[in-house]
Amino acid sequence: MENFTLTQLYRHSKSLLEKNDIPDADFDSLCLMEHFFNADRSTLIIHGDRLADSELCRRFLIALNERISGRPLQYIIGKWNFMGLDFFVGEGVLIPRSDTEITAEKVIALAQKMKSPKIIDLCSGSGAIAVSVAKFVPDAQIVALELSEDAFVYLQKNIKFNSVKNVTPVLGDVTKNYSDFSDETFDIIVSNPPYIKTNQIDTLQPELAFEPRMALDGGDDGIFFYKIISKKWKSKLKIGGFIVYETGEDEHEPVKDDLIANGYSNISYLLDLQGFKRTTFANR
């Protein structure tokens, strides 16, 4: 597609995505235009008649075909915004989502009331929660635990990219490495663990097939990791400390029951924009 203007290219992208039933075709097209041509909506309005560079155009069309095939927009761009910060993402790491900002904001609000809080982010993935909390609570000391070596690469990269000195990445297994930490170490334990039921993963939207299964699979009942964390990591939490979870749409009740069974108190929720109880938190 040589000699196409930016506006023509944008319209072509939007039309093609719509024809292939890609949701949010306008948003995706604008993101791709900004990524490849540094052209946001205002640029398209004012300078839309500018000719698109032929090499960038070629790469844009390759990316467009990848998007049509179902590859997530975030993986194509290679970076995504969370809590006003940019995070590198790609195959092997879960994409940060806006719903998780509710959990991050709760941890920040709790931590800002503490003096030099110690926090551990379990199943840290890209480090979205850990790095965001570190930015907003600079006197916090944060451990980010992640099992996947692929995701761990992104975790380290995002810590460095966002220039946070108060996050320590640890390659470890949430089901085993609790014994590496002393009792009553942490003021806050936070986790957005895998929480999709195993038999539901293959029924989800096609995009999720590109994301790592180990970051999605929460076992037969979806709460395997919550059970591990609530029980095995409890002693690592200071008396009166907080445990903060992101939970799936239908999982707040079983997570609550498990927290009660393990002796936690003051269990509360925060709703996402759809009205689901997305964040569950409690005290030891």
For 167, phi and psi rounded to 5 degrees?
A: -120, 125
Looking at CATH, the fold of the domain delimited by 88-283 is given as: Rossmann fold (3.40.50)
Q: How far apart are CA 225 and CA 193, in angstroms?
A: 6
What is the average per-residue pLDDT within 229-246? 97
Domain borders along the chain are: 6-69, 88-283
Burial class (CB in 10 A: 0-12, 13-18, 19+), 56: middle
Specify the pLDDT at position 213.
66
Question: According to the model, what pLDDT value does residue 254 have?
Answer: 93
When pLDDT is cut at 50, 70 and 90, the band that residue 232 belongs to is very high
pLDDT score recorded for residue 76: 96
Query: Which comes out higher in pLDDT, residue 248 or 164?
Result: 164
List, for residues 57-91, the tens digit of each pLDDT value: 999 999 999 999 999 999 999 999 999 999 999 99
Split at pLDDT 50, 70, 90, the class of 1 is very low
The per-residue pLDDT for range 113-128, each reduced to its tens digit, is 999 999 999 999 999 9
With bands split at pLDDT 50, 70 and 90, how would you rate the model's confidence at 212? low
Residue range 18-56, pLDDT digits in tens: 999 999 999 999 999 999 999 999 999 999 999 999 999
Q: What per-residue confidence (pLDDT) applies to 125?
A: 95
Token readout for 224 is 């395997």
pLDDT in tens, 258-274: 999 999 999 999 999 88
Give the tens place of pLDDT for each residue, 134-157.
999 999 999 999 999 999 999 999
d(CA 120, CA 142): 6
Q: Indicate if the pLDDT at residue 214 is higher than 90.
A: no
Residue 104 has pLDDT above 60, yes or no: yes
Of the candidates 225, 223, 219, the residue with the CA atom closest to the CA atom of residue 200: 219
pTM, entire model: 0.90
